[in-house]
Structure 1
Amino acid sequence: MPHLRFFFEAGVTHTPLWPAAPDPDGPYGSPCELDRLPIGAGTRTELERLCRWYQSSIDWDYPPGPSPWPQEEWRLFRRQADAAFAALCQELGDGWRIEMTHTVWTG
């Protein structure tokens, strides 16, 4: 059963998906290449959009410092990321295990 982790990473603008066990020679890449997954163009576009948006949550002049985002933007981002995660899990269907920081989904 493919097992992926879902999280956003500083500097990664194309995917929030990573293999549970890092394997650059694996079937999906490390980080995962969205076009290798059995998901539609709309889901890929939304995941990429969220990755790009996440980058603006980082103060690139001082990355370990506080985020420039107000709480309201964090809440909006989290709602949209949760919705994208749910859509991804539904689209992948049975036979996949996808983990989010506080959520584990097995279909």
Structure 2
Amino acid sequence: MEQAQGKNSNDLKNLVSKFESSLREKHRLKEIINANLGIKDDCKQLMIACNGLLTKTGAKKEVAVDEALYGVRNILFHRFGDTQKLAAELDEVSQALFVTVCELAICYQSPTVSL
């Protein structure tokens, strides 16, 4: 009986962990990008702009759109003082993000949630 309770407890912990993970910003961004694979081609300019900003701040280039965008988000939130020197790069990211969001609005499909 105790073994069954332990298994049920572990199952519940795993389910809660997956649920909490699905609520995180980084996870949601990745799911939206992955559910809308067609926009990956439209994200090339966004990748170039994000990686340009990341490189200028000394951060590593990313190979995935969601990781690059999340890296820019982290710079904006955690190193806001550095952004004054990055006006041109932020403008490029902003313009590319605008195009990507418009494309996403046209072809958006909700990601499936599996727990």
The structure carrying a bigger strand percent of its residues is 1
Give TM-score scaled by structure 2 length.
Answer: 0.38
Give TM-score scaled by structure 1 length.
Answer: 0.40
